[in-house]
Amino acid sequence: MPDPYVFVGPMLRRLDPECAHEATLAALAMGLAGHARWRPDPMLRVTRFGLDFPHPLGLAAGFDKDARVAGRMLALGFGFVEIGTVTPRPQPGNPRPRIFRLPADGALINRLGFNNKGLEVAGARLAARRGRGIVGANIGRNKDSSDAVADYVAGFRALAPHADYVTVNISSPNTPGLRDLQAVASLRPLLEALTAERAQAAGAVAQRPLLLKLAPDLADADAVAAAELALEVGLDGLIVSNTTIARPPDLGGPHAGESGGLSGRPLLARSTELLGIIHRETGDALPLVGVGGIASAADAYAKIRAGACLLQLYTALVYRGPALVHEIAQGLVALLRRDGFAGIEQARGVDAGKR
């Protein structure tokens, strides 16, 4: 059967990007997108944080901010799905337009600013979810909050009971001051408050994996310091990376000058480089989720070889549609076999020592 996104994609791309996204979510919520008709090769399985991932490629945060379609995205073939970012109270985000396509660069710029319906809505949807598959919850703080730590603790308390893991997002560029939390002096009290909240939770929530998502714009040494702190306080992994505020000089098209976070192909090199640097410094102790610019099996494989055990993407889905997930999974199997690896674990980090 031909890939329907060959027809649907160009139609969606004639719409304003945010309208196209809303139409996509509505169609997904109605069940119009169907199911993947493939099964991942067993050599792609990954076990981390006590969770069994059928393959390593997940949907990155931001696509399903309010946990509307997590089950549908799993059905389309993703190995796991991260919902959010969710803030304690609902908030509208920045004025529109706030998402811009840069098709020649395979990129997007967004300055959404955590538009979302808040913890109550996301928590209720996650709690009502039936069906299998790994769903993580990404938490943030409200723009007008005066107590960031309290916001993240509230996020953990509300969503950890209903999610397979929780991601602490302090790296979006569109909430003023948010990324300052990445400095060790602010990060320590935040992470300690979260691990303390987790430690006194009841039942399985006391073991809920906590991940931290970093920005690619951190200086290498600052990213390594954040990673070492994450290890020290008992976090379970890092997500590397969020969008970038950097702009490559050759970025093209009418929207290249828009402010916000740049994602997609121009982010691939730096996010993979930073992943490698962190893996080199922290070794196998800290599981790393590689995200940023993945649009092919080769990109995914490069992140695994740099040190990722799991992967996520978002921007390439906009340009290529869900068939890309299968293409990457199949391509990864071929690349692992070509190089004589039995699975993801054997290939993980083999390039980390190289500069």
Ligand X SMILES: Cc1cc2nc3c(=O)[nH]c(=O)nc-3n(C[C@H](O)[C@H](O)[C@H](O)COP(=O)(O)O)c2cc1C
Residues marked active site are found at 172
**Distance between CA atoms of residues 153 and 200, nearest Å:** 12
Quick one: 64 or 197, whose CB is closer to ligand X? 64
Which stretch, 67-75, 245-253, 309-317, 339-347, contacts ligand X (CB under 6 A)?
A: 309-317
User: Residue 271, preceding bond cis, omega within 30 degrees?
Assistant: no
Cα dist. 228→180, 222, 223, 247 in Å? 17, 10, 9, 28
Give the rounded distance of the alpha carbon of 67 from its chain centre: 14
Quick one: 54 or 290, whose CB is closer to ligand X? 290
**Distance between CA atoms of residues 270 and 306, nearest Å:** 12
Q: Is residue 145 close enough to count as binding ligand X by CB under 6 A?
A: no
Site for ligand X in 17-46 (CB under 6 A): none
Site for ligand X in 163-182 (CB under 6 A): 169, 172
Of the candidates 49, 152, 301, 314, which one interacts with ligand X according to CB under 6 A? 314
**Distance between CA atoms of residues 60 and 73, nearest Å:** 11
Give which of 160, 143, 231, 162 is closest to 199, Cα–Cα.
Answer: 160
Q: What is the secondary structure of 228-292 as a DSSP string?
A: HHHHHHT--EEEE---BS---TT--STTTT--SEEEEGGGHHHHHHHHHHHHHHHGGGS-EEEES
Q: Is residue 243 close enough to count as binding ligand X by CB under 6 A?
A: yes
- Minimum distance of ligand X from residue 137's CB (angstroms): 11
Residue nearest to ligand X (CB): 62
- Minimum distance of ligand X from residue 338's CB (angstroms): 24
Quick one: 55 or 341, whose CB is closer to ligand X? 55
Contact predicate 179/21, CB 8 Å: no
Q: Is residue 349 close enough to count as binding ligand X by CB under 6 A?
A: no
Q: Look up residue 101 and give its amino acid.
A: R
Site for ligand X in 69-108 (CB under 6 A): 84-85, 99, 108
**Distance between CA atoms of residues 217 and 241, nearest Å:** 9
Cβ-based neighbour number of residue 260 at 10 Å: 21
Quick one: 149 or 267, whose CB is closer to ligand X? 267
- Minimum distance of ligand X from residue 267's CB (angstroms): 5
- Minimum distance of ligand X from residue 313's CB (angstroms): 4
Site for ligand X in 278-297 (CB under 6 A): 291-294
Of the candidates 62, 71, 276, 290, which one interacts with ligand X according to CB under 6 A? 62
Residues near ligand X (CB under 6 A) are 60-62, 65, 84-85, 99, 108, 110, 112, 138, 169, 172, 213, 242-243, 263-264, 267, 291-294, 313-316
